[in-house]
Amino acid sequence: MKIKIVRPTEATPLQQLFAAPPEPDEEAEFKGLMFVEELLTLMKEQGINRTQLAERMGVGSPRVTAMLNGSSNFKLETLIRAGRAVGATLEQALVPAGMQGRWVIHRDDEIHAVFRAKREPKTPAPSDFLLETDEIAADDNADAA
Amino acid sequence: MVSLRIGDDDRISRFLTELENQNRPAFKQLKTAMRIVSEDRHYQNEYKFKNLSGGLYEIKTNLGVRVYAFLDDHENSLQQLVIASSGGGKGKSQSSDIAEARAIRLRYLQLREKQHVVPTLNLLPDENKDRKAN
């Protein structure tokens, strides 16, 4: 039997409610809960329970419970502690309006060398004002005089 | 994610619309929780999305308000998460809310087997604009 799927040409009042852009506090809660989802996934992969997470973070279990159920406003430090507790680092990005951001989490060896970010060691450029040893001694004597 | 209307009974749409008018903080929390489930399909956090067994799921907030849903994974369906009923209201117990949701799910499944009566699934807007049928 076919199920009737309603695709109205005009949004219903309920659909308009859900289509409205989230307010900043809504978006903050959404981002926080998304972080919790990622954290829980890593905890599950590593076999870490909430008590162990709290120990690794150096906080009490009630703090972790409040974090997981979204009843606390996250401090960045808390997010970083939680990430480190599961061996992860917190990354962030501001995405300008009209653009989209995508994260790709990968190991270095999973990316072809052509596309890897270049990390060349920085060597100081020679300075035009670098004095040789003899010149330093002559300069010191001039100052003394 | 869709909301369920059986005949003239569109309780979940009515509930959400009234909630937005009467308790906007609770509505925003519920909308956020539903958004996480529907857009990003994340279900790890049992504080927000709980498997009640028997095919029923609970999407909930810190303010006591919640909705109940079930997965329609019928071979002819779009693999929807169907929002069936609400809970957390005054004068009602959670056990009666869950019992009501289970009854709605059962009725939906029974109706699906009949030829002349069809329940209506209202797509929530985020899925409506980018919907791809299975």
Q: B83 — phi, psi (to 5°)?
A: -85, 115
DSSP-assigned letter for residue B112: H
Q: What is the DSSP pairing of strand B80-87 with strand B66-72?
A: antiparallel
Best A2, A12, A50 residue to mutate vs chain B (most B CBs within 10 Å): A12
Q: State what percent of residues in chain B have pLDDT above 90.
A: 1
The pLDDT of residue A33 is: 86
The pLDDT of residue B129 is: 42
**Among A6, A34, A68, beta carbon nearest to B121:** A6
Q: Does the ipTM exceed 0.85?
A: no
pLDDT in tens, B45-54: 887 888 888 8
State the pTM of this model. 0.70
pLDDT in tens, A75-88: 889 899 999 999 99
pLDDT in tens, A59-69: 999 888 888 87
Angle (deg, nearest 10), helices A76-85 and A24-46: 20
Spatial CB neighbours of A26, under 8 Å, sequence gap ≥ 6: B28, B31, B32
Contact A33 B31 (CB under 8 A): no
- Residues A51, A68: Cα–Cα separation, whole Å: 12
Contact B112 A3 (CB under 8 A): yes
What average pLDDT is seen over chain B?
75
Mean pLDDT is lowest, of A20-34, A89-103, A116-130, B88-102, for A116-130
Flag whether residue B82 sits within 8 Å of chain A, measured between CB atoms: no
Which chain A positions have a beta carbon within 8 Å of B119's beta carbon?
3-4
Contact A34 B42 (CB under 8 A): yes
β-sheet bridge partners, residue B9: B6
Higher pLDDT, A47 or B114: A47
Report residue A100's pLDDT band, with 50, 70 and 90 as the boundaries.
confident
**Among A19, A33, A40, beta carbon nearest to B125:** A19
Flag whether residue B123 sits within 8 Å of chain A, measured between CB atoms: yes
Place of tokens 């929002």: B83
- Tell me what the mean pLDDT of segment A50-58 comes to: 94
β-sheet bridge partners, residue B6: B9
The pLDDT of residue A81 is: 93
The pLDDT of residue B130 is: 41
Spatial CB neighbours of A82, under 8 Å, sequence gap ≥ 6: A35, A39, A53, A57, A67
Cα dihedral sign, A32-A34-A38-A43 = positive
Helix residue ranges, H only, A47-97: 50-57, 61-68, 76-85
Contact B17 A14 (CB under 8 A): yes
Q: Which amino acid is at A9?
A: T
Pair B17, A15: CB distance under 8 Å: no
Helix residue ranges, H only, chain A: 13-19, 24-46, 50-57, 61-68, 76-85, 133-144
